[in-house]
Amino acid sequence: MRSKIILAFSGVLSSLLPAILYAQDEIPIDQKINDAIAPIINPFVGFIFSPLPGSEAIFGTAFPWIVLWLVIAASVFTIYFGFIQFRGVKHSIELVRGDYLDPKDAGEVTPFQALCTALSGTVGLGNIAGVGVAVYLGGPGATFWMILAGLLGMASKFTECTLGVHYRNEYPDGTVSGGPMYYLSKGLSEQGKATFGKVLAVLFAICCVGGALGGGNMFQANQSAQQIGSVIPFFANNGFIFGIIMAIVVGIVIIGGIKSIAKVTEKVVPFMAAIYVGSALLIILLNIGSIGDAFSAIIGGAFAPTAVAGGAVGALIQGFKRAAFSNEAGVGSASIAHSAVQTKHPATEGYVALLEPFIDTVVICTMTSLVITITGAWNPGDGVTGIALTAKAFESNFGGFKYMLAIAAVLFAFSTMISWSYYGLKSWTYLFGEGAAKEMVFKIIFCIFVVIGASMSLGPVIDFSDAMIFTMAIFNIIGLYFLMPKVKEILRDYQGKLASGEFPRIKGGAAKST
Amino acid sequence: MSECFLVGIDNSDGSRRALEFARKRAKNAGAKLVVTYVIEWSPYSFNTPEENEQRHKRREEEISSATNSVLNPALEQLKTAGIEVEGIVRHGNVADVLNSLATECGADLIMVGRIGESGLKSMLFGSVTTKLIQLANVPVTVVP
């Protein structure tokens, strides 16, 4: 059955191939699509990323209101939960370390695995290329604001992931479906706002499907095709071939259910992340003499930068924006990933999830910007930005690092696509109902979009899908404001049970208890 | 107090020989036998979200399949031989779990078959048997 599906799927792809090849000669099918779609979607994209009124005039640089929306929400949750990201982080680490795991439950998804799965969806090109853009535009001072926003985002993740588990659907066969669409509809209906909740949930799910196909798929395919093209010239003009290879690999994992490929990449991705952070640390050590200068550039640049559009506010905007776009706190995506995990109490997933913005933003993004700052690669106004700036900084100490970055980009993109295919699928089944055939339709569409993303330059389409991801945050956060008292109730219940010994700390397993 | 032996089994010929050996020893010593089936599983592997979602179901399936097809027949056979038995199915690293279960039930001896893994894998990671011998807190008998 599976091999038939794969066969049929490869058939679809190979029939696409000549169409794309042909289109390349004729020129611009992508241009045509762009021209046709742009007038319809541009107003929406413009609205989502529109600057706060007057921000350009006052600060000299645009401040997208959606960034403020995310940062305000994160601040509200931080205060409402009494700085849970600082007071709770010790417990989070104990959970991830497995201190509370009963050996009798061995075989279930561990908190460590839940954390890694959710992280593989957010750690990606943004941590490498996005930070390059932020530092280029906002200067080293952007790092300070990025760290601050990352720390605040931890509270948003705690809130949405706790709710995701609490309101998920559990089916008789033991599988589960959860995420914002479920807590928006069920949670708000408990408060007597059933219609309002349903509307938010459906809008969220529509945006999540769009975001999964775009920002979580086409954008990733497109950017990794470009990265590979920059080191292997063959792929520079043959993005569709790269796209087909990528689509087949993605298809084998999500349609074929062949886990071995996912297993390989999911082992390689943390390894790449470790190499990336390790090389960054090494470069910082090699330039340890400049560490004082780098820190004063970051702190000074955060409050009184020079050569940055908009001054301190410019640095703040770039830092906040990068953090919000990178760790997805408040978007609701991680909540879908965490809802899949079997746990004894919803709050445990909240505690585990609050580590994600820390690892993604405070550790990995900060490493990138520290390397850019300490190596002196940042040269305002010279046009070296994004991944090129990151590559320049790393190459100043390790020649040939661009190859490493290209491989990292492809692997990060792949793991992000696998995660988003799941987020999209869960929203799809929320909208159209559960069922193998309905799931298959989405999975095939997802694979076709990989090819489209890699082979065409669909700027407006990708912008649109980026906007969809942030529109998820609008509906999600409205719901979170209504549901945060419920989260507090869940948290109190958990803390009570923890204190009464209902969830005993086992640490080290039974072997060492004698 | 009577003795207690822990025997690790799977679906292999080697483990059937180990079980047979354990039955004779337990009968002679009047010892209790703890029959253990360990399902190889790592708490640190990386999963896709879909795998996480199905994990609970898979785990139940793995446990019931191990219990019904391997563990229960073994227990029945031992019970008819008049031996006091206990059966355990657990996920984890085979050597670690056998050792910690031996400690947990106060076993005096662990018995396993020599587990035939492929040459390359055991060259790289060492065999389960070797690891068990190195970390066990009680004597280990390996049945060839």
For the purposes of burial, counting CB atoms within 10 Å of the CB of B91, is it exposed (0-12), middle (13-18) or buried (19 or more)? buried
Tell me whether residues B92 and A103 touch, CB distance under 8 A: yes
> H/E element holding B85?
strand B85-92
If contacts are CB pairs under 8 Å, which of residues 2-41 in chain B contact chain A? 39, 41
Q: How long, in residues, is chain A?
A: 514
Nearest CA of chain B to the CA of A487: how many Å? Answer: 23
Q: What is the pLDDT of residue A15?
A: 56
| Backbone torsions φ then ψ of A174, nearest 5 degrees | 95, -10
Give the per-residue pLDDT at B122.
54
Q: What is the ipTM of this complex?
A: 0.83
Candidate from A110, A425, A510 with C-beta closest to B43: A110
Which residues of A lie inside 8 Å of B (Cβ-Cβ)?
A: 98, 101, 103-104, 106-110, 112-114, 116-117, 120-121, 173-177, 253-254, 259, 262-263, 266-267, 269-270, 336-337, 340-342, 418-419, 422-423, 425, 509-511, 514
Among A447, A429, A448, A426, CA closest to A438: A429
Do A461 and A34 meet the contact criterion of CB atoms below 8 Å apart? yes
**DSSP, res A331:** T
Residue B88: helix, strand or coil by DSSP? strand
Q: What is the pLDDT, as a whole number, of residue A5?
A: 55
- For A8, what's the count of Cα atoms within 13 Å in the CB-facing half-sphere? 11
| End-to-end CA separation in angstroms for chain A | 51
Q: How many residues does chain B have?
A: 144
E strands in A278-406: none
Strand order in the sheet with B85-92: B85-92, B32-40, B4-9, B109-113, B140-143
- Kindly report the average pLDDT of chain A as a whole number: 85
Measured distance CA(A314)–CA(A373) in Å, rounded: 17
Question: Cβ separation of A176 and B50 shorter than 8 Å?
Answer: no
H/E stretch holding A248: helix A239-254
Question: Encoding tokens for residue A344?
Answer: 């004894």
Q: What is the DSSP string of A112-177?
A: HHHHHHHHHHHSSHIIIIIHHHHHHHH-THHHHHHHHHHHHHHHHHHHHHHHHHHT-EE-TTS-EE
pLDDT in tens, A66-94: 888 999 999 999 999 999 999 999 999 99
Q: Could B48 and A419 be called an inter-chain contact, meaning their C-beta atoms sit closer than 8 Å?
A: yes
Task: Give me the residue from A121, A422, A509 closest to B50, CB to CB.
Answer: A422
pTM across the whole model: 0.86
Q: Do B62 and A269 touch (CB under 8 A)?
A: no
Decide: helix, strand or coil at residue B8: strand
Distances (CA, A) of A256 to A31, A424, B62: 33, 17, 21
A285-339 per-position pLDDT tens digit: 999 888 889 989 999 889 877 767 777 888 888 898 888 888 899 999 999 999 9
